[in-house]
A and B are shown apart, each in its own frame.
Chain A
Amino acid sequence: KQEVTQIPAALSVPEGENLVLNCSFTDSAIYNLQWFRQDPGKGLTSLLLIQSSQREQTSGRLNASLDKSSGRSTLYIAASQPGDSATYLCAVGNQAGTALIFGKGTTLSVSS
């Protein structure tokens, strides 16, 4: 059974810092990996999708990497801003390829 773990559970940084969020998964036979952002009381917004054959994806100040062999992904956020404050969720495709399995998320707080 696929399990997804995100470390740290919470992170507080001053504005302008670069930071890394970590995601690990137990079964390397994944279909893809997706990073989401969730604001309090809101739904999920997709940030980056990495196909199983890819190693990284970039969008603006965000860069996500994928290492299937070690069961790890990282989300790198450059020059953090207060507007980046949210919960970041990592999700991997399950063995059947029919659903994403989510971690519990990392709650990020960026202070000005």
Chain B
Amino acid sequence: GAGVSQTPSNKVTEKGKYVELRCDPISGHTALYWYRQSLGQGPEFLIYFQGTGAADDSGLPNDRFFAVRPEGSVSTLKIQRTERGDSAVYLCASSSWGGLNTGELFFGEGSRLTVL
């Protein structure tokens, strides 16, 4: 596609529910990143994929958060047993090179998650 696509754009759920957020990166981009942004804050790194594998998942806050990228393209961020503190905008970005040494990141518009 022309840009990074994220769905849904908005998601409202109840505490304790399971949520999936999807990211479709720019075609051909091998690197994919998930970030979380709370109001008034900069984006916070969650996980980085190089191809199908998670090269760095050090930003995932706890084991309720999990992400996959089975075919090296679309990625899904999965949140189990959601808590009110998970409410944020979840941003996805992709890059044409592996890693940050030469890659410029292109961001999607984000998925706004609200946990009631």
Which A positions have Cβ atoms within 8 angstroms of B?
A: 4, 31-32, 34, 36, 42-46, 49, 51, 89, 91, 93-94, 96-105
Contact = CB atoms under 8 A, between A and B. Distances in A.
Task: Determine chain A's interface SS by DSSP, over half rule.
Answer: strand
Contacts of A34: 104-105
B42 A51 contact: no
Given A97-B100, A98-B99, A43 B108 contact: yes
Interface size class of B (residues with CB under 8 A): 20 to 34
Q: Which 8 pairs, one residue from A and one from B, show the smallest C-beta to C-beta distance?
A: A102-B42, A98-B56, A44-B107, A99-B45, A93-B100, A43-B109, A43-B107, A31-B100
B55 interface: yes
Contact of B106 (A31, A46, A101): A46
Interface in B84-112: 91, 93, 99-102, 104-110
Given A4-B42, A89-B42, A99 B48 contact: yes
B22 to A, nearest CB: 15
Interface in B26-64: 33, 35, 40-45, 48, 55-56, 59
